[in-house]
Amino acid sequence: MKIKVILVDDHAVVRAGFKMLLSTNESIEVIAEAERGEQAIQLYQEQQPDVMVMDISMPGIGGLEAIRRICDRHKEAKILVFSVHEEPIFISRALDAGAKGFISKNSAANILIEAIQCIKQGQTYVEQGLKSRSLLAPSEAVQTDHQLIIKAFTPREFDVFLLLAKGHTSHKIAEQLCIGYKTVANYSTQIKKKLNVSNVAELAHIAVLYGMVNH
């Protein structure tokens, strides 16, 4: 019996590459693809895959929120995150949302196949190289507080925080996440208040400090 897989990524080329890679293994069959979290939720409901392989950086509600909603409705859901983000905070947020595994998009082909097979069997799978990492913890107490605050962000706050840190405007973020501009402005105010910063430059500095965005 083949393992039925749904691939979720907003880049068609990425999906095509992973689909081709998985087609080399006789035990796995890609039964559907999605490019957004909303679509993933609907497809999960319709197809009931054995494993859903999902990116977390997508427009719309995003991967973390999609994982949470799927796992709330389907306690048995087995979701493997594959992401360019390799920092521990992304791994912990994905697992907290309900994912059963996390691998890097840079990992070898056999890692993806091994992860899918392990998760199908009911195990949790975090790629070995990622598991050994630890979140940077600067000595200053205020910076450690930042780490704890970011960890406590809601999925949507986390999405907005990252996009602000990458230099996106509130209008661009609203468009990408499919939410209102005023909603983004409210999140932005909320996030700055929680982190005790007054502008986006300070916010971006915190994200860079913890390796969450590049310089």
CATH fit for domain 141-209, picks 3.90.1150.10, 1.10.10.10, 3.30.70.260, 1.10.1760.20: 1.10.10.10
Give the global pTM.
0.76
How confident is the model at residue 108, as a pLDDT?
77
Instruction: Write out pLDDT tens, residues 120-149.
Output: 999 999 988 776 554 444 444 444 688 888
Gap between the Cα atoms of 79 and 34, Å rounded: 14
How confident is the model at residue 131, as a pLDDT?
62
Instruction: Write out pLDDT tens, residues 30-71.
Output: 999 999 989 999 999 999 999 999 998 887 788 888 999 999
| Lowest-pLDDT choice from 46-50, 117-121, 158-162 | 158-162
Beta bridge partners of 28: 3
Query: Apex CA 63: angle with CA 177 and CA 142, to 5°?
Result: 80
Tell me 201's DSSP state: H
Beta bridge partners of 53: 7, 80
In the chain, the N- to C-terminal Cα span, in Å, equals 47
The token pair that represents 86 in the structure block: 């390799």
Residues counted in the chain: 215
How confident is the model at residue 60, as a pLDDT?
79
Banded pLDDT at 183 (limits 50, 70, 90): very high
Instruction: Write out pLDDT tens, residues 64-114.
Output: 889 999 999 999 999 999 988 877 888 888 998 899 999 998 887 789 999
The token pair that represents 137 in the structure block: 């913890």
The three-class DSSP label of residue 137 is: coil
Domain map of the chain by residue range?
3-131, 141-209
How confident is the model at residue 99, as a pLDDT?
95
User: CATH fold of 3-131, please?
Assistant: Rossmann fold (3.40.50)
Gap between the Cα atoms of 172 and 159, Å rounded: 13
Q: Rounded mean pLDDT of 9-36?
A: 92
How confident is the model at residue 215, as a pLDDT?
54
Element (H, E) at 149: helix 141-151
Gap between the Cα atoms of 96 and 142, Å rounded: 25
How confident is the model at residue 144, as a pLDDT?
62
Higher pLDDT, residue 130 or 156: 156
